[in-house]
Every structure is written in structure tokens, then in C-alpha cells.
Structure 1
Amino acid sequence: MKTVAVLVFLACLLATEVQGQNKFHRGRCFCADKGVDVVLLKNIEKFEIIPASPSCGKQEIIVTLKSAERKCMNPESKLTQNLIKRALGKMARQ
């Protein structure tokens, strides 16, 4: 009886397909697309730079607006590049 149970268990193990973890899991990124190019500077309350990581292979720029809405910024847009330069400049001065 025990050998039958062991054989059934082994057959179940062989029948299941085991996959490795995907390096760039889409569910871990905050931004689903490339993001917006322009946001009014006066409406920005908070600015976050999230570097690429093992769970999300791209750099993400997220702004929180005064209306508590969060928007993903396009890292390649001129506005976003200027915001990054300003943030790095402020960090260097501190």
C-alpha cells in the first residue's frame, strides 16, 4: 500500500511542470506603460525615482500630485530629465 502511494506521489511530481521565476515580472512594476510626458510643476507634491531592480527591470519616475493622484512619468521626456537633475542637485547640496 505504501509503495502505491509513493508511486502515485512521484507520478504527480513528474506530471506537474515547474517553472523558474521570471527575471522581469510585470506585476512588480508600478508603471504599466512608459508614462506621461508633461505634468504642471505647480501640481507636483512629491517626486520619486525608483531604480531598476530584479523584480522590475526598468527605472520608474512617479509623481504624486496635490490631488493625491499618482502618475508615472516618461523617463525619456525633457521635463522628467530636468526633474531628475534638480533632485540630484538638491541631494548633492545636502
Structure 2
Amino acid sequence: MFIKLIFLALLAINLVASRSITMDGGRCSCYRTVSKITFHSRQVKTIEILPPSASCENVEIIVNLKNGRQLCLDPHEDKIKNIFRELINKKKI
């Protein structure tokens, strides 16, 4: 009985500790980003732009391609910023 209580206590401590680790910005979807677009716009299925949040401090641009590949674009790269600026301007017209 005593061993079971120790096991449950250790399990509870582990759960609390792992929760605090994941809430400090370590749950981003993009671990690696690319700075060049190596695909054609016809290959794009969806584009997700995720703003900074409590679980991830980075802006993330996730491109899902029709072939199932997923790429994360570097939101700080000037070429990528310009592409999104052009898309926003075209949307306004």
C-alpha cells in the first residue's frame, strides 16, 4: 500500500512538472523554418498563420501542400514578408 502511494505521488509530481514545462513557450508547431519558397502556388492546399500565444511565442506560417507535405515559412525573412504584403494589397483592391 505504501509503495502505491509513493508511486501516485511521484506520478502527480511528474504531471505537474511537465505541465509547467509546456506552458513556457515550448509547444510551437514549427521546429524548423525555411526561408525560400520551393513550391508552386498550385501545390498549396492551405496556409495557416498562427500568432504568438501562451503556448508559443513565435509567429508561425504553416503551408500545407496537396501532396501531404507541411512546410513552416520563416516569418522574419524579407521575401516572405513581401509576398504576404502583396497578397494583402491584392485582397484590398
> TM (normalized to structure 2)?
0.62
Partner of 2:3: none
Higher radius of gyration, 1 or 2: 1
Percent identity among equivalent residues?
27
Alignment of 1:15-26 (within 5 A): 21-22=20-21, 23-26=23-26
SS at 2:72's partner residue? strand
Q: Which runs of 5+ in 1 are unaligned?
A: 1-11
Partner of 1:86: 86
Structure 1 residue 89: deviation in Å? 2.9
Structure 1 residue 91: deviation in Å? 5.0
Structure 1 residue 60: deviation in Å? 0.3
Q: Which runs of 5+ in 2 are unaligned?
A: 1-8
CA distance in structure 1 between the partners assigned to 2:81 and 2:88 by the alignment: 11
Structure 1 residue 79: deviation in Å? 3.1
Partner of 1:8: none
**How many residue pairs get matched?**
81
Partner of 1:31: 30
Structure 1 residue 73: deviation in Å? 0.6
Alignment of 1:53-92 (within 5 A): 53-92=53-92
Structure 1 residue 58: deviation in Å? 0.6
Q: 1:54 to 1:91 in 2, by over 3 A?
A: farther
Q: 1:68 to 1:31 in 2, by over 3 A?
A: same
SS at 2:49's partner residue? strand
